[in-house]
Amino acid sequence: MAETFSTIAITALRIQASIILAGYLIKKAGFIWGVDISWALFVVVIIVMLIRARGFNQPASLSTPKSARIEKISLWAGSMITLAVAGLVTWNALPTQYHLEDKQIIITGAYGLNINYYDIDDIILQTEMPVVDMKNNGLNMGPILKGHFTVQRIGGALLFLRSAHGPVLIITFKDHSEPVLINFSDPAETNQLYQQLKSQTR
Q: Are 137 and 111 in contact (CB under 8 A)?
A: no
Task: Please confirm whether the linkage preceding 143 is cis (ω < 30° from 0).
Answer: no
Domain range summary for the chain, segments of one domain joined by +? 2-93, 97-200
Q: Are 190 and 169 in contact (CB under 8 A)?
A: yes
How many CB atoms are closer than 10 A to CB 158?
22
Give tens-digit pLDDT for 11-43: 666 676 676 666 666 655 555 555 566 666 666
Instruction: Report percent pLDDT > 90 for the chain.
Output: 45
Q: CA 99, CA 113: separation in Å to the nearest integer?
A: 11
Give tens-digit pLDDT for 77-90: 666 766 666 666 66
The letter for the amino acid at 2 is: A
**24 or 179: whose pLDDT is higher?**
179
Q: Please tell me the pTM assigned to this model.
A: 0.65
Q: Residues near 121 by Cβ (< 8 Å), separated by ≥ 6?
A: 172, 173, 174
What is the average pLDDT score of the chain?
Answer: 79
**72 or 61: whose pLDDT is higher?**
72
Architecture of domain 97-200: Roll (2.30)
Most confident of 36-40, 56-60, 89-93, 168-172: 168-172
